[in-house]
Amino acid sequence: MQWGIIIIVSLLYLLLLFGLAYWAEQKAEQKSHFINSPYIYALSLAVYCTAWTYYGSIGRASHTGYDFLLIYLGPTLSMPLWWFMMRKIIRIAKIQNIFSLADLIATRYGKNVTLGAIVSIFTVLGVIPYLALQIKAISETFTLLLDYPKNYARNPVFLDYGFYITLVMAIFTIYFGTRRLDLTRRNEGMVFAIAFESIFKLLAFLVAGTYVVFVVFDGFSDIFQKAFEQKELQKILYFQDSAKNQAWEWFLIGLASLFAVMFLPRQFQMAVVENKSEKHLEKAIWLFPLYLLLINIFVLPVALAGKLKFGDSIDADIYILAFPLQNNNYSLALLTYLGGFAASTSMLIVASLALSLMLTNNLFIPLSIRMGVTQYFKDKQWGKWVLYIRRASIMLVLILAYWYLYTAFDLPLVSIGLVSFVAVSQFAPAVIGGLYWKEATHKGALAGIVLGFAVWFYTLIVPNFVEAGLLSKSIMQEGLFGMSWLRPQSLFGLEFSPVAHSLFWSLFFNITAYVAISAFTSQNSQERNQAELFVDIFKYADSYDEAVIWKGIAHKKNLEELLARFVGENKAKNLLNEFEQKNQGKLYADEAERNAKLVKYAEKILATAIGSTSARILVASVVQEEMLTQEEVLKILKETQELKKLNFELKKADALKNEFISTVTHELKTPITSIRSLSEILYENPDLESTQREHFLKTVISETERMERLINQVLELEKFESGKQKLHLTTQNLNEIVKEAIRIYESIIAEKKIQFSTQLSQEPLWSEVDKDRILQVILNFLSNAVKFAKTKIIVSSYSKQNFIEIAVLDDGKGVPAELKDAIFEKFFQAENQNNRKPKGSGLGLAISKKIIQYHKGSIGVEQEQGMTKFYFRLFRTLSLDLSETSSDNTTILKPTT
Amino acid sequence: MPMKVLIVDDEPNILMSLDFLMRKEGYEVFVARNGTEALESIQNHLPDVVLLDIMMPDVDGYEICRFIKSNPETENSKVIFISAKSKESDIKKGYEIGADFYITKPFTNKQIVNKVKELFITS
Q: Any idea what the Cα angle at residue A807 is, between residues A805 and A809, rounded to 5°?
A: 155
Q: What pLDDT, on a 0 to 100 scale, did the predictor assign at position A561?
A: 82
User: A185: pLDDT confidence band, cut at 50, 70 and 90?
Assistant: confident
- pLDDT value at residue A752: 80
Beta-bridge mates of residue A832: none
CATH of domain A640-721: 1.10.287.130
Query: Coil, strand or helix: which one is A472?
Result: coil
Cα(A42)–Cα(A569) distance, integer angstroms: 40
Task: Compute the distance between CA of residue A269 and CA of residue A98 in angstroms, rounded to an integer.
Answer: 10
Which of B13, B62, B108 faces A699 most closely, judged by CB atoms? B13
pLDDT digits (tens, 9 = 90+) for A125-150: 999 989 998 988 888 888 888 877 67
Predicted confidence (pLDDT) at residue A515 exceeds the cutoff of 70: yes
Q: Residue A321 pLDDT more than 60? A: yes
Beta pairing class for A624-625 and A552-553:
antiparallel
Q: What is the pLDDT of residue A364?
A: 93
Residue A493 or residue A383, greater confidence? A383
Burial A765-799 (b: 16+ CB within 10 A, else e): bbbbbbbebbbbbbbbbbbbbbebbeeebbbbbeb
Is the pLDDT at A886 greater than 50, yes or no? no
Q: Where in chain A is the domain with CATH 1.10.287.130?
A: 640-721
In sequence order, the 6+-apart residues with CB closer than 8 A to the CB of A712 are: none
- Of residues A261 and A802, the one with the higher pLDDT is A261
Sheet holding B28-32, edge to edge: B28-32, B4-8, B49-52, B78-83, B101-104
- What are A236-239's contacts with CB under 8 Å, separation 24+? A236/A61, A236/A62, A236/A63, A236/A64, A236/A65, A237/A65, A239/A65, A239/A66
Say yes or no: A649 contacts chain B, CB-CB below 8 A.
no
SS3 A13: helix
User: With bands split at pLDDT 50, 70 and 90, how would you rate the model's confidence at A433?
Assistant: very high
Residue A802: predicted pLDDT: 84
Asked if A673's CB is within 8 angstroms of B14's CB, the reply is: yes
Q: What is the pLDDT of residues A623-677, one digit of tens each?
A: 777 777 777 777 777 777 777 778 888 888 888 788 778 778 878 888 999 999 9
What are the tens digits of pLDDT across the range B110-121? 999 999 988 887
- Give phi and psi for A469, each to the nearest 5: 80, 10
User: Could you tell me the pLDDT band of residue A414, with boundaries at 50, 70 and 90?
Assistant: low
Q: Do residue A676 and residue B21 have CB atoms under 8 angstroms apart?
A: no
Distance CA A522, CA A519 (A): 8
Confidence of residue A892 (pLDDT cuts 50, 70, 90): very low
Q: Can you tell me the distance from the alpha carbon of A55 to that of A29, in angstroms, rounded to the nearest whole number?
A: 37
User: How does residue A896 score in pLDDT terms, banded at 50, 70 and 90?
Assistant: very low
Nearest CA-CA distance, residue A824 and chain B, Å: 19
To the nearest whole percent, how much of chain A has pLDDT over 90?
Answer: 34
User: Would you say A196 and A417 are in contact if contact means Cβ atoms under 8 Å apart?
Assistant: no
Q: Is the pLDDT confidence value at A436 over 90?
A: yes
Residue A377 confidence (pLDDT): 76
Q: How many CA atoms lie within 13 A of A661 on its CB side?
A: 6
Q: Residue A832: its pLDDT value, please?
A: 43
Q: Which of A7-11, A13-17, A286-290, A469-473 comes out lowest in average pLDDT?
A: A469-473
pLDDT mean across residues, chain A: 84
Q: How many CB atoms lie within 10 A of CB A181?
A: 18
pLDDT (0 to 100) of residue A400: 92
Q: Encode pLDDT of A290-304 as tens digits.
A: 999 999 999 999 999
Closest Cα in chain B, distance from residue A677 (Å): 6
Q: Using CA atoms, how far apart are residues A58 and A802, in angstroms rounded to an integer? A: 82
Cross-chain Cβ contact B108/A699 below 8 Å? no
Residues 6+ apart with CB under 8 A from A751: none
In chain B, how many H helices and how many E strands?
5, 5
**A405 in Cβ contact with A136 (< 8 Å):** yes
User: What is the average per-residue pLDDT within A186-206?
Assistant: 93
Q: What are phi and psi of A807, to 5 degrees?
A: -140, 150
Using an 8 Å Cβ cutoff, are A345 and A200 in contact? Answer: no
Q: Where in chain A do CATH 1.20.1730.10 domains reside?
A: 3-436
Nearest chain B residue to A667, by CA: B84
Whole-number Å distance between alpha carbons of A270 and A40:
11
Q: Which residues pair with B80 in a beta bridge?
A: B51, B101
pLDDT of residue A881: 47
Least confidently predicted of A195-199, A478-482, A505-509, A579-583: A478-482
Predicted confidence (pLDDT) at residue A240 exceeds the cutoff of 70: no
pLDDT over 90 (residue A44)? yes
CA distances from A461 to A213, A455, A472 (A): 38, 10, 14
The pLDDT score that the predictor gives to residue A243 is 60
pLDDT: which is higher, A877 or A478? A877
The beta strands (E) that lie in A786-884 are given as 792-800, 803-810, 858-864, 867-875
Cα(A272)–Cα(A263) distance, rounded to whole angstroms? 10
Fold observed for domain A3-436: Sodium/glucose cotransporter (1.20.1730)
In sequence order, the 6+-apart residues with CB closer than 8 A to the CB of A700 are: A674, A675, A678, A679, A682
B123–A contact, CB cutoff 8 A: no
Collect all residues with Cβ–Cβ distance below 8 Å to A83 and sequence separation of at least 6: A281, A285
| Closest partner CB to A673 (pick from B24, B85, B106) | B106
pLDDT, residue A592, reads 67
- Asked if A691 reaches chain B (Cβ–Cβ under 8 Å), the answer is no
Domains of chain B: 4-122 (3.40.50.2300)
From B118's Cα to the closest Cα of chain A, the distance in A is 20
Measure the CA–CA gap between A423 and A126, rounded to whole angstroms: 5
Number of CB pairs < 8 Å for A and B?
65
Considering only CB atoms, which chain A residues are within 8 Å of B10?
A: 837
Nearest one of A516, A598, A612 to A559, comparing CA atoms = A598
Mean pLDDT computed over A276-294: 91
- In angstroms, what separates the C-alpha of B77 from chain A's closest C-alpha? 23
Q: Which residues, including other chains, have CB under 8 Å from residue A79's CB and lie 6 or more apart?
A: A285, A286, A288, A289
Other C-beta atoms within 10 Å of A37: how many? 15
Q: How confident is the model at residue A882 (pLDDT cuts 50, 70, 90)?
A: very low
Predicted pLDDT of residue A242: 59
Nearest chain A Cα distance for residue B11, angstroms: 8
* A310: pLDDT strictly greater than 50: yes
User: Which SS3 state, helix, strand or coil, does residue A711 take?
Assistant: helix
CB contact under 8 Å between B60 and A835, yes or no, is yes
E strands of A63-199, at which residues? none
Query: What pLDDT is recorded for position A409?
Result: 64
CB contact under 8 A, A672 and B57: no
Q: Closest by alpha carbon to A562, among A625, A605, A513, A508?
A: A605
Contact criterion met (CB < 8 Å) for A672 and B62: no
Q: Please give the angle made by the CA atoms of A631, A632 and A636, to the nearest 5 degrees.
A: 120
Show which of residues 12-31 on chain B sit within 8 Å of chain A, judged by CB atoms: 13-14, 16-18, 20-21, 24
Low-confidence ranges of chain B (pLDDT < 70): 123
Neighbours of A889 (CB within 10 A): 13
Amino acid at A876: R
Residue A176 pLDDT class (50, 70, 90 cuts): confident
Write the CA distances from A124 to A44, A119, A155, A393, integer angstroms. Answer: 22, 9, 26, 11
Q: Do B106 and A676 touch (CB under 8 A)?
A: yes
Q: How far is A838 from chain B (nearest CA, A)?
A: 7
Name the residue among A363, A374, A373 with its Cα closest to residue A396. Answer: A363
Yes or no: domain A730-884 corresponds to CATH 3.30.565.10:
yes
Average pLDDT in the A252-259 region?
91
Task: Tell me what the mean pLDDT of segment A57-81 comes to.
Answer: 85
Residues A72-82 have a mean pLDDT of 87
Closest CA to B56 of B78, B38, B74: B38
Q: Which helix (H) or strand (E) holds A812?
A: none
pLDDT at A888 over 50: no
What pLDDT score does A482 carry? Answer: 67
- Do residue B17 and residue A703 have CB atoms under 8 angstroms apart? no
Q: Identify the CA nearest to A79 among candidates A47, A105, A45, A112.
A: A45
Identify the pLDDT of residue A719: 85
